[in-house]
Copies of this chain bind each other. A is one copy, B any other.
Amino acid sequence: MTPYDYIEAQQDAFLEQLKEWLRIPSISTLSEHKADVRHAAEWLRAHFMLMGMARAEVFETPGHPIVYAEWLGAPGAPTVLIYGHYDVQPVDDPARQWRSDPFEPVVRDGKLYARGATDDKGQTFTQMKAVQSLLATGEMPVNVKFMVEGEEECGSTNAYAFVEQHADLLAADVVVVSDSHILAPDRPSIVTGLRGMTYMEIEVFGPSHALHSGAYGGIVHNPAQALAEILAALHDGDGRVAVPGFYDDVAELSAGQRTALAKVPFTLERLEHETGLTAPWGEAGYELHERLGIRPTLEVNGLISGWTGEGSKTVLPDTALAKVSCRLVPYQDPLKIYRLVADRVAALTPPTVRSEVRLLHTGNWVVVDLDSPYIRAAARAYEFGFGAAPVYVREGGSIPIIGTFQKTLGTPAVLLGFGLPDDNLHAPNERFHLGNFHRGMKTAVHFYQQLGGRA
């Protein structure tokens, strides 16, 4: 039996196993789900042993645990480190926006709906089942290590430290990450760049306590209004980030590089299909795919102040808070960007209120070497699994730990993503295309066979 036959035979079993994992609401950013996050880690460790890994261990961290597993039974062959994460995003209000319970996976129209279905339990599981298929059929051509963390959705801080502390344990020839998407089921793509991240909170403080808006309205600078004034001043009329120095370290691409990227434009049709919007927005002078792939951003992720319940409350709030994050590109430094934004907010804050900019977390951008043998192997694997040669794209998202693998371990990375652009990751009704689950396993098996010289 070949690994591919094994995948065919086990398809239904694999789906039921994945559903089991998805039922555990491992939301890392909410402390009320701490026990669920641990439960998801323990489930994973047990599953690694069941699928034939030689070792599987839960490592403690100051935050959520990290699951490590290995099978090193191919002496002399290359070693692959597969990174993934078992934590998931919050679900906001499930009753209002989800068509089905985010933690009761269901298949509709060939797609598996659940929080974490694509990001990243589903994609990590695709890798796990590819490895299992090779192990079960006695065909495993490489050594394999897994590092699956539980804090990717809240900054990966402890994962960075873990990589630095366990460089020997994690030593590998290549890092493989399945936590991104391809363009379409018949249009695979290889991610050659990812944006970095600086995530902050901007808080404006007004009066010492909330005031009656009649008794004080007109003589006190409303902190919600002051926050709006500050946020409005962080972009100019051309959609550029109006923070002095923000673009100083941004690499401008050559005309040739921009032409190469233009092979995968982001069309207005796609924008409307995926967002319902007919009018795009953004930095003047750049195409949509460039605004996403090679240009940095500053985004308001959340706002809260004063009365937000039903009806009316005539309050003049005491504070106003914005969650703000920047997506970064080569060669911007996340900490420098934090300092520039903090300085700009301080300069924009009038003497009538007080403000604070707090750093929540940072992550490095990633650029992949297109000429590496791993990328060439990935291209052939996609062609085998999906029936079409992949195109090369710069992604707007961030997987900051890849930068840490590159910097700390010196290990190149391959992003072997199997998601789709409309998977609704980080949003209600997240889903994973089951056709991609299946093709993804075949692609991964073929990739490892090539690395081991068997394909």
Residues of A within 8 A of B (CB): 29-31, 89-90, 92, 97, 153-155, 181, 195, 197, 199, 206-222, 224-225, 227-229, 231-233, 235, 266, 271, 274-277, 279-283, 288, 291-292, 295, 297, 299-317, 320-323, 325, 327, 351-352, 360-361, 395-398, 421, 424-429
User: Contact between A301 and B313 (Cβ–Cβ < 8 Å)?
Assistant: yes
Tell me whether B208 and A291 are in contact (CB under 8 A). no
**Contact call A303/B300, Cβ cutoff below 8 A:** no
How far, in angstroms, from A24 to B282 measured CA to CA in the complex?
A: 52
| Chain B contacts for A271, CB-based, 8 A | 219-220
Pick from B208, B295, B322: contact of A218, CB under 8 Å: B295
Q: Are B323 and A312 in contact (CB under 8 A)?
A: yes
Shortest C-beta distance, A165 to chain B (Å), equals: 23
Closest to A424 in B: B209
User: Closest CB-CB distance, A317 to chain B, in whole Å?
Assistant: 7
Asked if A305 and B315 sit within 8 Å, CB to CB, the answer is no
Given contacts A29-B311, A197-B314, A280-B219, contact A225 B325 (CB under 8 A): no
Q: A90 and B307: CB pair below 8 A? A: yes
**How many of these chains are in the complex?**
2
Indicate if the CB atoms of A218 and B300 lie closer than 8 Å: no
| Residue contact B313 to A212, C-beta cutoff 8 Å | no
In the complex, which of the residues A215, A361, A421 has the most CB atoms of chain B within 10 Å of its own CB atom?
A: A215
Known contacts being A211-B426, A213-B327, A215-B397, is A303 close to B304, with CB within 8 Å?
Answer: yes
Cβ B428 vs Cβ A210 within 8 A: yes
Which among B199, B229, B395 is the interface contact of A312 at CB below 8 angstroms? Answer: B199
Known: A90-B307, A211-B427, A224-B301. 8 other contacts (CB 8 A): A29-B312, A154-B312, A210-B426, A216-B275, A217-B299, A218-B283, A219-B291, A301-B306
